[in-house]
Amino acid sequence: MPNDAIHVRRAESPADYRALQDAQRRAWSLADESYVVPVATLVGANLHGGLVLGAFLDDGRAVGLSFAFLGKVDGRLCLYSQLTGIVPEYQDCGLGTRLKLAQRDFAARDGLERIAWTFDPLQAGNARFNLAKLGAVGTKYYVDMYGQRTDALNAGIPTDRLLVEWEVSPTPRAPLGANELARLDRLIVEGPDGPRPTGLQGRPDRVLLPVPGRIVAMRRDDPGGAAAWRLALRSAFLEAFGAGYRAVDFVELPGGAASSRAYLLEGAPLPSPTPLV
């Protein structure tokens, strides 16, 4: 990361909002101006229950942003985070984490119990950031949530999204060891014809849902393979969520296969049987 002081703070002025629009363009390599959040929308949210944060340099430029408004998931109030992005040359230096922790402090001060957002479940980097690093939990799957998009991360593939919910006071979880992970069923196996969902076999407490490595390169070099993974992941997530599972972690798999990372899904306890008499 360039050696600049970076201030994570709320947007306050028209110049701040315009700097954040610029950061959004750069973080997502946007070619289509219609994806840029209008200043009026940012201001409206920031003044009325939402939160617009920037990672600002001393000269006023922004190198990261997050934009969130008040929302509900299954009737429960939350801060819904529409965007969190860091411009490429400042990624992977802890700034995304700083923005999310600032969102969490804000939600806690405002009496909100959770923050929710969606991301593309094929993006293993984002999955690691959201589930493994922050401790958010995947609870819903949206098929082609936004329809076709043209930005670099989304062009040419249905915009399926995983909804994650992040408790303001999360319960820490003990990671599973390699031996335990190796014993778990996998909901997708890779054969010569590509990825294939296996279907849930019984109702194990935990299952793994593998993702491909290097999806960005795959989408460039093998778009058919990337589309097959999209459909396999979609089918497995829909079945697992329908059966009451939640994605509680994102793990490295022992063995180092091509799809060497996976969502760890846990089932909710079954309701106690109703007594017959």
Ligand X SMILES: CC(C)(COP(=O)(O)OP(=O)(O)OC[C@H]1O[C@@H](n2cnc3c(N)ncnc32)[C@H](O)[C@@H]1OP(=O)(O)O)[C@@H](O)C(=O)NCCC(=O)NCCS
Site residues, ligand X (CB under 6 A)? 27-28, 84-86, 91-97, 119, 125-126, 128-129, 133
Q: Which is closer to ligand X, CB of 12 or CB of 92?
A: 92
Which residue lies nearer to ligand X by CB, 94 or 242?
94
> Which residues have C-beta within 8 Å of that of residue 108, sequence separation ≥ 6?
168, 169
Nearest Cα to Cα of residue 128 among 14, 263, 270: 263
Minimum CB distance to ligand X smaller for 86 or for 208: 86
* CB-CB contact of 121 with 160 (8 Å): yes
- Quote the tokens at residue 149: 């998009």
CA distances from 246 to 27, 107, 138, 250 (A): 29, 23, 6, 12
Per the CB < 8 A criterion, the answer to whether 63 and 87 are in contact is yes
Of 37 and 267, which has the nearer Cβ to ligand X?
37
The residue among 46 and 118 lying less far from ligand X, judged by its C-beta, is 118
Percentages helix, strand, coil for the chain (3-state, rounded to 5) are 30, 30, 40
- Long-range (24+ apart) CB contacts under 8 A made by 150-156 are 150/31, 150/32, 151/28, 151/29, 151/30, 151/31, 151/32, 151/35, 152/28, 152/29, 153/28, 153/29, 153/120, 153/123, 154/120, 156/219, 156/223
Q: How far is the CB of 264 from ligand X (least distance, A)?
A: 16
- For ligand X, give the closer residue by CB, 46 or 103: 103
Q: How far is the CB of 237 from ligand X (least distance, A)?
A: 16
Q: Which residue is nearest to ligand X (CB)?
A: 96
Task: Compute the distance between CA of residue 114 and CA of residue 168 in angstroms, rounded to an integer.
Answer: 5
Report in angstroms how near the CB of residue 91 gets to ligand X at its nearest: 4
What is the closest distance, in whole angstroms, from the C-beta atom of residue 28 to ligand X in the complex? Answer: 6
* Cβ 202 to ligand X shortest distance, Å: 32
- Residue placing its CB nearer to ligand X in the complex, 108 or 145: 145
What's the rounded Cα separation, in Å, for the pair 68 and 200? 35
